């Protein structure tokens, strides 16, 4: 995965032997959690790991991002874009895929 520009949020889904792990950043602080897929649905349990002071614009969006991850019930992949959706289909967050270096 290519390095994200400073203050750009990203998430990484890691299926593996220890379960389905999620990692990433809010653009300032690290995120960690787990996820589960079932019957075409997606459930995410994510928490902020670090408590660094962030630029105001990033600090304002960080709790919104964590809430969006926690509220995720569905997902849609279109091309290289991942859309996280609520149970009623409302868009919560959108991420673009990045290639590994």
Give mean pLDDT in consecutive 10-residue pieces for the chain, a chain of 101 residues: 63 80 89 88 84 86 90 93 94 85 43
| 5 within some domain | no
What is the domain count for the chain? 1
Q: Which of 19, 21, 26 is nearest to 68 (CA)?
A: 26
| 83 within some domain | yes
Q: What pLDDT is attached to residue 59?
A: 85
| 81 within some domain | yes
List of residues 6+ apart from 69 with CB closer than 8 A: 11, 22, 31, 33, 44, 46, 84, 92, 93
Backbone dihedral region of 68: left (phi > 0), alpha (psi from -120 to 50 degrees) or beta? Answer: alpha
Report DSSP state, residue 40. Answer: T
| 3 within some domain | no
| 101 within some domain | no
Q: What pLDDT is attached to residue 18?
A: 67
Secondary-structure breakdown of the chain: helix, strand, coil percentages, each rounded to the nearest 5 = 15, 45, 40
| 57 within some domain | yes
CATH number, residue 39? 2.40.128.270
Q: What pLDDT is attached to residue 3?
A: 47
Question: Structural domain of residue 89, as residue ranges?
Answer: 10-96
Q: What pLDDT is attached to residue 14?
A: 86
């Amino acid at each position: 995965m290519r390095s994200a520009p400073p203050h750009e949020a990203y998430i990484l889904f890691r299926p593996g032997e220890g379960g389905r792990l999620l990692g990433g950043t809010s653009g300032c602080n690290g995120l960690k959690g787990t996820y589960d897929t079932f019957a075409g649905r997606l459930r995410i349990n994510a928490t902020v790991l670090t408590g660094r002071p962030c630029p105001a614009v990033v600090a304002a969006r960080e709790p919104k991002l964590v809430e969006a991850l926690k509220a995720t019930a569905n997902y849609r992949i279109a091309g290289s874009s991942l859309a996280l959706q609520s149970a009623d289909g409302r868009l919560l967050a959108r991420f673009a895929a990045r290639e590994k270096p």
